[in-house]
Amino acid sequence: MKRPTLLAAALLAAVPLVMTPVAQAGDTGDVRFSTFNASLNRNAAGQLVADLSTPGNVQAANVAETIQRVRPDVLLVNEFDHAPEAVDLFRDNYLEVSHHGSQPIDYPYAYIAPSNTGVPSGHDLDNNGSIGGGNDAYGFGLFEGQYGMVVYSKFPIDTDAVRTFQTFRWADMPGAMLPDNPATPEPADWFSADELDDVRLSSKSHWDMPIDVDGTTIHFLVSHPTPPVFDGPEDRNGTRNHDEIRFWADYVSGADYIYDDSGVYGGLPATERFVIAGDQNSDPLDGDSVPGSAQLLLDHPRVNDAKTPSRPAAPGRPSCRERPTCPTSRTRASTRPTSTTGCAAVRATCAPTTCCPRAT
């Protein structure tokens, strides 16, 4: 293998990239961190590898061309099935090949790790009277690793210092928003006590990936919370989405209850720089997520909300600079950087034809 793909021990038109530049101290340039839900997931294990084994897949070519034209330095791809072989196939057959005149792009480093999607829990988590299938997995998936994620980087990834939180139990989060069975008088009782001993918080996983950017460590904090839909009045996916987002808010606050898959406790030290990235499946103004979920990051004191990128609005719509809010916004993915002073370099960008709420 010509470049290292870092594996944890133990993811048709391309959608827009969300990108955030982080300025380095003593450097006039920016480092671009991006997140991209590329929907490269497949319906069966091994299908993604088969599709990427040759350069003819139209969807993968569209995704690669988008990446080549935006040219991020560090990139999270959501919905890339957990298939380590696919990581290099996407680089070799798509990212390093020109598409419609775009310039090929090289990522010497990459990281992929297991996902909770499709991993059987052994419990009836949807309470339908039977055990098995995607709804009863630790994270919804038709096979293990479906809807996973992968990170590509131009800068070295400190694999020895990567922390993953795939097995962190939901019930171990203080004040967790556990779902309630509306048919019973007891609170937060959708899951039985035995189930709560096993149920994991992360629908895919949460990774803290230290990136060495010319001697400066930036923690790339990546995840993909579950969509807050596809459930019932108990809102088990909505409450889980909320707490998956809250996990990073607590982590960058240094919460000591958090433990990683190696059993090490503690959050991120206050002196560390970080970027939070991923398809959060939450909108601060609209949608089906628990109200206030996105604000856990948007309003966090260590997250800078002072700089709102904007782009021209669609014809007939006001631009982001013309009004402070956009009720029809359905911005989902986001990136969130910070500095050692507790301030971020920039807010998330918006999807085309939408605008972001302006910082106040």
Dihedral pair phi/psi, residue 22, rounded to 5°: -120, 115
Q: Which DSSP state fits 136?
A: G
H or E element in which residue 296 lies: helix 295-298
| Amino acid sitting at position 322 | E
51-59, Cβ contacts within 8 angstroms, sequence gap of 24 or more: 52/86, 52/89, 52/90, 52/93, 52/94, 53/89, 53/93, 54/93, 55/93, 55/94, 55/97, 57/94, 58/12, 59/12, 59/14
Task: Decide if 347 is inside a domain.
Answer: no
Task: Decide if 357 is inside a domain.
Answer: no
Structurally, the chain folds into a number of domains equal to 1
Q: What is the CATH number of the domain that holds 195?
A: 3.60.10
pLDDT for 30 equals 86
| Amino acid sitting at position 179 | P
In angstroms, what CA-CA distances link 250 with 166, 240, 297?
16, 15, 10
Task: Decide if 93 is inside a domain.
Answer: yes
Mean pLDDT, consecutive 10-residue segments, the chain of 360 residues?
39 41 54 95 98 97 98 98 98 98 98 98 98 98 98 97 98 98 97 98 98 97 97 97 98 98 98 96 93 95 68 45 33 39 29 30
Query: 206 lies in which domain range?
Result: 5-337
Task: Decide if 355 is inside a domain.
Answer: no
pLDDT for 304 equals 77
Entry pTM: 0.83
Task: Decide if 345 is inside a domain.
Answer: no
Cβ contacts of 132 within 8 Å, gap of 6 or more: 120
Residues linked to residue 195 through DSSP beta bridges, in sequence order? none
Task: Decide if 157 is inside a domain.
Answer: yes
Task: Decide if 308 is inside a domain.
Answer: yes
Task: Decide if 359 is inside a domain.
Answer: no
Q: 289 — alpha (psi -120 to 50), left (phi > 0) or beta?
A: beta
